Amino acid sequence: SQQGEEDPQALSIQEGENATMNCSYKTSINNLQWYRQNSGRGLVHLILIRSNEREKHSGRLRVTLDTSKKSSSLLITASRAADTASYFCATDASHDYKLSFGAGTTVTVRA
């Protein structure tokens, strides 16, 4: 079942700008993950943040997690045209490693 809600649904920015998207979820989690999907392709794992972590960085990506608010954010800094894709958050709330995906945010970076 889908647990994550993401906003915005779509985001259009100029190259070089930052892109921020948010994910909210309903139940306690073990970890939260962000994935990228280019149109018609599979998913690429971007970053995983555990429930006892508050912030994580990977290159131009910054992820925060607020378990009290049951929310996470993904920030992409200095965006590039190649960042154009759909971004999904996914929560692991079980003991069997199943992921529940949010609805996704479609990001368009204009050159």
Partner 1 sequence: GAVVSQHPSRVICKSGTSVKIECRSLDFQATTMFWYRQFPKQSLMLMATSNEGSKATYEQGVEKDKFLINHASLTLSTLTVTSAHPEDSSFYICSGLAARNRETQYFGPGTRLLVL
Q: Which stretch binds partner 1 (CB under 8 A): 20-28, 34-42, 66-74, 76-84?
A: 34-42
Tell me if 96 contacts partner 1 by CB under 8 A.
yes
Tell me if 61 contacts partner 1 by CB under 8 A.
no
Tell me if 83 contacts partner 1 by CB under 8 A.
no
- Residue 53 beta carbon to partner 1: minimum distance, rounded to whole angstroms: 13
Matching residue, tokens 């945010």? 105
DSSP letters spanning 3-68:
--EEE-SEEEEETTS-EEEEEE-SS--SEEEEEEE-TTS-EEEEEEEETT--EEEETTEEEEEETT
Amino acid identity at 8? P
Query: Quick one: which of 33, 79, 84, 91 contacts partner 1 (CB under 8 A)?
Result: 33
* 109/111 Cα distance (integer angstroms): 6
Tell me if 87 contacts partner 1 by CB under 8 A.
no
Give the footprint of partner 1 on this chain (CB under 8 A).
1-2, 30-31, 33, 35, 40-45, 48, 88, 92, 96-104, 106
